[in-house]
Amino acid sequence: MDFAREYERWLQVVEQDSELGQELQAIKGNEKEIEDRFFKSLDFGTAGLRGVMGAGLNRMNKYVVGQATQGIADFLSEIPDACERGVVIAFDSRNNSDFFAKRAAGVLAQNGIKVYLFETLSTVPQLSFAIRHHNAIAGIMITASHNPSEYNGYKVYWEHGGQLDPVLSSAVTMKINNVNIFDVLAMDIDTAVEKGLVTLLGKAIDDAYYAATKTLLLHKELINFNFSPIDVVYTPLHGAGNVPVRELLRQTGLCKLHIVKEQEQADGNFPTVQTPNPEDFGAFSMAIDLANEVKADIILATDPDSDRLGIALREQSGEFRHLTGNQIGSLLLHYILSSLKEKNALNEHGIVAKSIVTTKLANKICEGFGIKCFEVLTGFRFISEIIAECDDSPVCEFIFGFEESHGFLAGSYARDKDAICAAMLLVEAVAYYKTKGKTLLDVLNELYEKYGYFIEVTKSYTAKGMDGMKRISDTMQDLRNEKKTEIAGQKIIAIEDYKTGKSINQQDDSETDLSLPESDVVRIILECGWLCVRPSGTEPKLKAYLGINAKVKDEAQELFDSVLRELCGWLDARLG
């Protein structure tokens, strides 16, 4: 793409007195900045759009949102009944989320497509639930999840409540690419409501979501307060989880809830944290202060669109320990399976699903209960596909799915990560184990004693712009060209290349076919665990994952440290 010519086109079309126009004027003569904004269009993939807000093709703005929505409208117009079934649109607390949501709703309405628009900020699981509740053909969520405040995004969902698969995404992308970004028309929202093209969603859909979520409680007898209520601290990190998490925990009556007041109100600038990410223990500092004040034993935190949940637990020393997504998912998985078994309600045809970069402890737990554990590529839409397949089976039941990146889903009422439901189940688990004289950390240690000690980590390497894209691509190619037989003294058992669809046994060079779809992912199976490398699908990053397991903690930690050191050294030399 001729980025200089595209910049000039934008200068001529965008109103000079608008915020975007002023941005364009401000970067005049700055070739590097112009290149970054215009060297390509913001990628539309299975995760939709995500990028820094601002003027340009490679930014999130009203023109990019309008173009994407017009492409979706053109795609839907070719599907029978799609216009009448409609599209559900929700938005979180990020700056411009409500504006982009109304822009998308106006474009769809202009094309005669019915829209269900949430009246106030909402969450990913509520959007996913609403799609199937209203039998809509698709859904749009305006959010950039846990990214820093300068980002926003545009997630697209299909009728089953999960995000688009590669085939649908490719078809929509073709339509988007045929849309002139400056020719998109949008109907005024008030006019669209008057014409019956936009229906506003409020309390009724919220109540339906709460009712569905509460059916997943495993020990409803705990609601009767036959125990001393537990104290729970919760922070929504200025996001959309504030209302639904509080309301659901209030309705279940499982705890005494304390809210971090400084982080209670929705604010797209996220003024109290570097990033609103519950994976980052730094985001828990204010919550820890409150937890120490009220003597709470658990802290919950959700990201802006409430599809990710982080927790911290009080150790015997009094200090708080931040759990990884792998540890939280393993605890939830064990709690759900053991509770179902206790009540003779565990379906022998039950299904658990997790990504290939998620802890192998989950596999061990499932084996212990005689339950199948499916591994899928990274991206929760792959788990949503497993749920859809279970729905078509007369015996199969989807029980639980999770990813290492703090995304969890129990049951099948929603089809994407649900931090609200996960918060409810974790609080119930704390209450349940309290009646047994245990804490969640006690249970985690029991799992390690039974199945071995597991340590996992995720490392991200940011590489922006055209040069960054090339360095990431070159790094993946270098990895594929490596002929290593060991890493840090640990034998490589097999190398799985999901781009070629082959697994190569390093002992005899034999090949087997991989069952998962093609993807730019390499996973290396070690005698002591595994490691995996892939480009991010939503950010200019390369992600590396490492999982090590051994019988005892000290052995696992020693192996983990040595392998991680060699892996990071290799990646630092290319991307550091």
Active-site residue, 306 included: no
- Show Cβ contacts of residue 276 under 8 Å, excluding neighbours closer than 6 positions: 146, 149, 237, 238, 239, 270, 283, 303, 304
Sign of the four-CA dihedral 360, 361, 365, 367: positive
In this structure, which amino acid lies at residue 233?
V
Residue 104: count of CB within 10 angstroms of its CB: 28
SS3 letters across 260-287: CHHHCCCCCCCCCCCCCCCCCHHHHHHH
The phi, psi pair for 366, rounded to 5°, reads -65, -40
> Collapsing DSSP states into helix, strand and coil, what is residue 354?
strand
Q: Identify which of 522, 541, 546 has the alpha carbon closest to the alpha carbon of residue 533.
A: 522
- Show Cβ contacts of residue 421 under 8 Å, excluding neighbours closer than 6 positions: 125, 213, 216, 248, 408, 409, 410, 411, 414
In which region does residue 78 sit, left (phi positive, over 0), alpha (psi from -120 to 50) or beta (all else)?
Answer: alpha
Do residues 162 and 380 touch, judged by C-beta distance below 8 A? yes
In which region does residue 520 sit, left (phi positive, over 0), alpha (psi from -120 to 50) or beta (all else)?
Answer: beta
In this structure, which amino acid lies at residue 81?
D
The phi, psi pair for 218, rounded to 5°, reads -105, -25
Residue 525: count of CB within 10 angstroms of its CB: 17
* 203-214 and 419-435 helices, crossing angle to 10°: 40
Give the C-alpha separation, 374 to 386, whole Å.
8
Beta bridge partners of 230: 255
- Show Cβ contacts of residue 128 under 8 Å, excluding neighbours closer than 6 positions: 139, 157, 161, 162, 414, 415, 416, 418
Beta bridge partners of 530: 525, 547
The phi, psi pair for 312, rounded to 5°, reads -130, 140
In terms of Cβ atoms closer than 10 Å to its own Cβ (0-12, 13-18, 19+), residue 456 is buried
Out of 145, 339, 384, 519, the active site residue is 145
In this structure, which amino acid lies at residue 356?
I
Residue 245: count of CB within 10 angstroms of its CB: 29
> Collapsing DSSP states into helix, strand and coil, what is residue 307?
coil
Helix ranges restricted to H, 459-546: 465-481
Q: Between vectors from CA 94 to CA 93 and to CA 99, what angle results, nearest 5°? A: 95
Retrieve residue 93's tokens: 């607390």
Give catalytic residues, as residue numbers.
Answer: 145
